[in-house]
Every structure is written in C-alpha cells, then in structure tokens.
Structure 1
Amino acid sequence: MSDDPVVLADRDGSGIVTVTLNRPGTKNSVPPQGWTELAGVLGDIAGRADDRVVVLTGAGGDFCAGSDLRGGGSAAPRRAMQVVNAALFALRDLPQPTIAAVRGVAVGGGFNLALACDLAIAEENARFSQIFSRRGLSVDFGGTWFLTHMIGLHRAKELAFFGRVLTAPEVHALGLLNKVVPEGQALAEAYAWARDLLALAPLALAQTKEMLNLAAAGSFHDSVLREAAAQNLNGTTEDTREAIQAFLEKREPVFRNR
C-alpha cells in the first residue's frame, strides 16, 4: 500500500483551498483510510478563518471512481459506512462554499461527492454514473437524498436502478450540474467562481449556505424564521457594517471574516 496521502490540500494564499483526491492510478477511488483523511482535511478547513472557498477535484484527469472495492478492508460493514458518512457530513456541513471541478469519471460515491458540493462544474467529456446497482450495492454517500431532492423520485429511481453512464451535458440537463465547460477548463472555471466568492462577506455567505441546506428538508415557516435570525446576526458583524459603508462610499468592501 502506498504511503502517499490520499487527500491533498493546497492553499494559494488568497483564501482558496484546493482539495485533491490523489490516487490517479485508480481513477481516484477512495480506500477506507482515504475517507478518514478527507474528513480530517475538511475538519481542519472548517476551523480556519483564512480558508474561504474550497475547490474539490481529482488528480490525473479523473474526479473520483467512488470507494475502492479492492481488498475490502478489515472494518465491519457498519463501521466502514460510519467512516464514509463522516466524510460526507464533514463536506456537507463545511461553512465555506465548495465547488466540484469534475474531469473524467465521477461514478458511484464520486458522483455523489460532486453532488455534495455547493456548486459543480464538469468538463464536456466527463462521465457520470450511479453505478452501485451494477456492483451489487445500494446507493450511498447521500445519493438517495441528493437525487430525490434535486431531480424528483422517478428520475432518481431511473438513475439509481439502471446505473447507466451519463455524459456531462445529460447530467447538466437534469439539473445536477451548474455548468459544463470544454475539456481542460473545469479547474479554471472553478477558480474563477472561487475568486468571485472571495469578494463576498464570508459569515453571511456561510449562513446563506446553511439555510439553503436546511430549507431543502424543512418547512417554509422554519426557513423564514432562520432567515430572520441570520439577518439579525449579520447586523452585529463587522463585515456587514463594512459592506454597507463601502456601498455608501462607492468602493469595494474589505472583509475580515468577523
């Protein structure tokens, strides 16, 4: 087994963190310890005020081929899924906005890894599949929730039952991608969006992200009450006061994440 890390985190100094799955020889399939690494990397990012936006991608031209099914690992099935789910929760609950930059294959858990991000950009030659059924498995890594909420029950069942390979334009047409770009452009587009997000107040953006995630499963009444609570909190922050003052002074705001 290689001692190389499965997950890399690179910071460019601007506030953008690139998280890369680093097993190109297996199309970035993730072994059991890789999910633990991913959860750890994301947990570190969550606690750092200088990390403002996360771009998630894969090394060597592919995004992620899901879990590595070779060898199986020594953990009991229940424990193994707890490890996988810890990585999913760490990604979903991350306060910073996340952008998936998809190249090559994104299948099984890799498909759902992209769906777990806040935004997803794919190159036009990328390929997607909820391949679980073709491996004798049921859908995991949040796929049952993402698909049902994002495209509806009947289409979700079609993708999950048949596990067919879909092109990026087909996935985009379903509403599961934000943008499809030419081959070789996914990372550049993701970084362009990341730079746009850096110009926004991070605390307010984190609250908006959290409320949108909760709204997907909550009531209208609860969503409106959360909006009011968040807006009240915004009024106590330096960043909101700076944004309003910059607007009045017709200049660009300088946010300090406080």
Structure 2
Amino acid sequence: METLVVERSGGVVTVTLSRPDKKNALTPTMFRELVEVFTEVENNPDDRVLVLTGAAGDFCSGADLAGLRGDALKYMAIAHEVPRALHALTIPTIAKVDGVAVGAGWNLALGCDLVVATERARFSQIFVRRALSLDFGGSWLLPKLVGIQKAKELAFFGDIISAADAAELGLVTKVVAVEELDPTVDLMAARLVGGPAQAISLTKQLLNASADGGGLEVALRHESHVQANNINGEEAQEAKDAFMEKRDAVFFRPVKV
C-alpha cells in the first residue's frame, strides 16, 4: 500500500491513513486502497473490528485537490466508493481521531460506527470555504446525526469546532486526553472482539436500516428475522451454556501462531 498502513492483532484490523506531510489528505490512490482494504476486511472472518485512524497526530485534512485534473464527475465516482464500502462493512468500525478531521476526512470518521477523539481534535465541514458542497456522504450523515438545522449550520459556515462541541452534538462518541486515545480505543475494540460477532453485526445492520427509514413495522420485521438467526446460531448457544454453567461466555479465541 502506498498511502495506508494496515495492521492486524487479535481480531482488530487497524487502517492508518499515511500521508503525514499532507495531514493524511485523501488522493485517488488512497481512495482505491481504502476500498480494497474495506472489501478485503468484509470478506475476512478473522477481522472482527476495524479501527480507522491517521498518522502523525492528525486524522485527515480532507481531499487533496491539488493535482485534480480532468473529469470531476469521474473523480467523485472513484471517491465515493470509499464511504460506500465503509458503510457496507458489517463489523463494528471505530474512528480514532487526533488533530484535524475536516471535509471528507470528517465525513470519513462520521461513517464509522463510533468516533473517539482527543481533546485537541478539531472538526469542520470545511467544503464551503473551498466553494464546494458536502461529499463523502456528509449530506446524508449530518441530518441523521444532528438534525436538518444544525446540519445546515455546520455546512453553510464550515466553522472549526472542538471535540467537546462535536461530542455535545452527538458527532463524537467519547473525548479523551491525547495519552488515553490508544488505550481507550484498544479497550473498546477488545470488548467488541470478545462479544458475539453475529449479534453485534446484525444489530448494526438493524440500527442502520432503522436510521435509513421504513418505520416501526419494517424494523419489527427485520428484528424478527435477525433475532431468529441469532437464536439458532452457535454464539447464542455459547451464551446460553455460559449462563447455565455460571461462567463468562467466550466468543473469540485468538489463533496461536
């Protein structure tokens, strides 16, 4: 990989955006590599949690448009395969954010299920400052997360907001000190890895489907099918056995190398 560092440990795959000299700005090469990695992760049963982060104290400064030439529509088609592939992941995803997360970079983080940020992290829908509109799924994510009026405020002005303000709006799951970022995310990822993978994955899909619309009746139908699948699965049986035997359930056993 030219622009990413991919590491695996105990069921957690960590993907690091690695263009530190450009604050990890996104390029067409990075678009292609992210899609490749996300697709690979979705098809790898050993990958149970994905952590997305940036190198050298920044998450992502958005798209690097400096070298953009030619068909912008084609460029956007390539770019938007990234949020599409991220959204399609059925395992839990965590954005680990330090420094800047702006423009497409912020929307990449918002596309994850959970966002953990340092106290010094800062965020912006900076597009308007570049005479651009929202992309990377921002026009869909923001209204769902903060409501239409606040989404318009963030998009119209492109103000830089702090991690604390982002958390208050529901755009950050947890704010921690810089030195606590790694251990906090490691603990969250370990808890997810140790949980029932099928139930968590299907719960994620239920919540996404509910947020996408369809109403209570559709949600209830989805829940019926999903829960029946859970009940008949091996992990639910392990949970039942553990309860009966008064022990902790074990859903994941790392392969010894």
Q: TM-score range by the shorter chain?
A: over 0.9
1:73 shift after superposition: 4.3
5 Å-filtered alignment, 1:105-116, equals 105-116=100-111
Alignment of 1:47 with 2:43, yes or no, is yes
SS at 2:228's partner residue?
helix
Q: 2:89: which partner in 1?
A: 94
Q: Residue type matched to 1:236 in 2?
A: N
What are the Cα deviations for residues 139-170 of structure 1, in whole angstroms up to 9, with x where unaligned?
01111111101111111000000001111111
CA displacement 1:197-237 (0-9 Å, x = unmatched): 11211011110001101100221111111011001111221
| Conserved 8 A contact 1:35-1:87 | yes
Q: CA deviation at 1:254?
A: 2.4
Q: How many corresponding residue pairs?
A: 252
Query: Does the 8 A contact of 1:127 with 1:168 survive in 2?
Result: yes
Counterparts of 1:24-103 in structure 2 under 5 Å?
A: 24-74=20-70, 76-103=71-98
Q: Are residues 1:159 and 2:154 paired?
A: yes
2:165 to 167, 170, 193: 170
**Matching residue of 1:254:** 250
2:216 maps to 1:224: no
Q: Which segments of 5 or more consecutive residues in structure 1 lack a partner in the other structure?
A: none
- The residue type equivalent to 2:133 in the other structure is S
- Structure 2 vs 1, CA of residues 31 and 216 (structure 1 numbering), >3 Å: closer, same or farther? same
Structure 2 residue runs without a partner (length 5+): none
Q: Classify 1:18/1:89 alpha carbon distance in 2 versus 1 (closer, same or farther; 3 Å).
A: same
Q: CA deviation at 1:256?
A: 5.6
Aligned to 1:183: 178
Q: Secondary structure at the match of 2:90?
A: coil
For 1:177, give the aligned amino acid. Answer: V
Q: Say what the alpha-carbon RMSD is for the aligned residues.
A: 1.3
Which region of structure 1 is more displaced relative to structure 2, 200-209 or 245-254?
A: 245-254
- What SS does the corresponding residue of 1:216 show, helix, strand or coil? helix
CA distance in 2, matches of 1:186, 1:114: 15
Match for 1:209: what amino acid?
A: K
Q: CA deviation at 1:185?
A: 2.3
Runs of 4+ in 1 over 4 A off after TM superposition: none
CA offsets per residue over residues 19-70 of structure 1, 9 Å max, x none? 1001011000011121111010010000011101111100010000111111
Return the letter of the residue paired with 2:181: A
Q: Give the SS at the match of 2:212.
A: coil
Contact 1:120 1:178 in 2 (8 A): yes
The answer as to whether partners of 1:128 and 1:168 remain within 8 angstroms in 2 is yes
Alpha-carbon distance, 1:138 to partner: 0.3
**Deviation for aligned residue 1:187:** 2.4
Out of 10, 14, 27, the position equivalent to 1:18 is 14
Write out per-residue CA displacement over residues 55-112 of structure 1, whole angstroms, 9 at most, x where no aligned residue: 11000100001111111144x2222111111111111110110011100000000111
